[in-house]
Chains A and B, each alone.
Chain A
């Protein structure tokens, strides 16, 4: 009984439970065929959601109105930058990755500069930035036909006992992110600002620096994601990041992070990402059309948030 109650009070458990149920349903449907492969595939795809989801989580935790809408454009641009710098040569992989990270970080810095200098809500600042980045992306990345270096493409596909190496590394990364969130000054500052920015300032927290670091971090993670996606999908693409606008927000919210800010959850991002990816896999297995897939995804997001309920008004 108490165990149940404890589970009910840790909302992120439910995303894992949901992911498990979906997996079981699919395996039952296929008669046990391809259950393992499904997990491998789900892990590979979930990685990309988890990385940007983590960045988005820190941003959203900063409080109402904080959300990074520039992620898709950022990912698209970084994927092009990574591929150009790598230029198909294995020797330039590290350089390309660094360039993608720097590109993402620059986007994050630009976002925060707009927020800070124009004193506009982050949502509109990241929106304007995304318009501009998107255009740069079109102008720079269109018709870019550079394949990733073979070594990089292989790296994104390495598996250890059926578990993608990238997933293992991402798990390590999320553990660090969870530590940063709960046990480091940076994370505590983000949580405090999200609960009450004024009280955080009065408690001696460096509000400006924390917000700057958060937007830069989120941008950097977008850059990383762009490079990895280009490696995994064998090439850069303007639209490669498009689905991550909505899914980065969705995994954060389904994962138990509060949209009102101040309450964040790292494991939940994994649960929610696996849940979403497996849901899509399941629907594919059932052979439903793209329309039904979208429809169900949407209904589930609305259903989850409606069931979880909103924050008490302060």
Chain B
């Protein structure tokens, strides 16, 4: 049998690898472009205080994006992460402050519910879109029950952490690097992380090799719940008070962040570092960049959409040129 026939069907590792490299550079390149644009428009923004201000809300977004990434890594989708973040925010601003023990139990319990959802979706073979769609009502309902009107107050210790000003490097940047690093090591470098990602690529193969797919789904959903909790808590630490609708926009932002960061909907191709960069890009482009460009805030949301489209178009161009 001829070697050429085989070679032609799948491109050689070198070429495909280059295209993949190029694609994986995209998130960083887009962040760099946004940063350059900001620096050009307003050089003073590139400073300790500038970054502190601009990236203030990027960390909760990054954490929610990571949560979504865990779900997408196993070919599912979470439409409830936004309202979940809002729910966690409400718990943080009420129970966690007034009765810390109960608050902690509630938060742990909510991670447990995420794990159960993973089990339910796997065992009954349910479409995750619909289940999480229903859950988005549930979290929102619970949030409204907890805080019918905007209010509450962040626990002091949390506000203190969020307000901490480390020397030289602004806190949001340190936090972003830390999140990216921890998740990267956990998902991309550990031996069980390989199994988790492999499930997105070829679940049958993982099952045949004797791994429990149920356990994998539960793990990934629980991780998503954990990062959702972290996102809600940091959000309240920064804003200091809560609102039942505070996280609603995060569902779509988190999906966009994962995709911007080089992730794909199916196939277990995700990148924690990319996801964090994607979230930062969205956070920077949506508000500070537009402000500096003197574009009215009406177009903030559109900026997210346009960035998403540009990056996806760039991705298509790269893979087309590869052929």
Contacts and interface: CB of A to CB of B under 8 A. Distances in A.
Interface stretch (B1-9, B36-44, B63-71, B122-130): B122-130
Given A124-B312, A134-B301, A260-B127, A305 B134 contact: yes
Interface string B111-147: 0000000001000111101110111111111111110
B55 interface: no
B302 interface: yes
A9 interface: no
A143 B306 CA distance: 25
A233 interface: no
A114 interface: yes
B305 A129 contact: yes
Interface stretch (B25-33, B183-191, B252-260, B272-280): B252-260
B300 interface: yes
A255 B13 CA distance: 48
Contacts of B10: none
Q: Is the interface of A mostly helix, strand, loop or mixed?
A: helix
A135 B300 contact: yes
B316 to A, nearest CB: 5
A135 B316 contact: no
B238 interface: no
Which of A121, A134, A297, A309: most chain B CB closer than 10 A? A134
Given A123-B265, A301-B130, A114 B309 contact: yes
Interface in B253-294: 255-256, 259, 265
Contacts of A161: none
Nearest to A303: B134
B265 A131 contact: no
Interface stretch (A144-152, A245-253, A263-271): A245-253
Contact of B137 (A117, A259, A298, A305): A298
B299 A310 contact: no
Interface in A23-67: 64-65, 67
Given A138-B301, A246-B136, A309 B145 contact: no
Nearest to B77: A123
Contacts of B234: none
Contacts of B143: 291
A249 B130 contact: yes
Given A139-B296, A296-B141, A250 B133 contact: yes
A301 B126 contact: no
B254 to A, nearest CB: 11
B151 interface: no
Contacts of B140: 294, 298
A289 B129 CA distance: 27
A199 interface: no
Contacts of B139: 298
Which of B130, B255, B296, B309: most chain A CB closer than 10 A? B130
A136 B301 CA distance: 9
A69 B305 CA distance: 13
A259 B130 contact: yes
A171 interface: no
Nearest to A73: B301
A252 B129 CA distance: 13
Contacts of A117: 313, 316
Contacts of B144: 289-291, 294
A132 B140 CA distance: 25
A65 B127 CA distance: 10
Contacts of A114: 309
A160 interface: no
A279 to B, nearest CB: 11
A259 B127 contact: yes
Given A119-B316, A295-B138, A309-B124, A142 B148 contact: no
Contacts of B133: 246, 249-250, 301
A132 B302 contact: yes
Contacts of A128: 256, 304-306, 308-309, 312
A24 to B, nearest CB: 24
A131 B304 contact: yes
A295 B299 contact: no
B125 A131 contact: no
A129 B301 CA distance: 10
B306 A132 contact: yes
Contacts of B302: 131-132, 134-136
A299 interface: yes
Nearest to A307: B124
Interface in B133-190: 133-146, 148
B301 A135 contact: yes
Contact of A298 (B136, B145, B259, B304): B136
Contacts of B244: 291
Contacts of A67: 129
6 contacts: A123-B255, A246-B137, A250-B133, A309-B124, A311-B125, A313-B125
Interface of B: 77, 79, 120, 124-127, 129-131, 133-146, 148, 244, 252, 255-256, 259, 265, 296, 298-306, 308-309, 312-313, 316
Given A118-B313, A132-B302, A136-B302, 7 more contacts: A118-B309, A124-B259, A128-B304, A131-B252, A246-B137, A297-B137, A306-B131
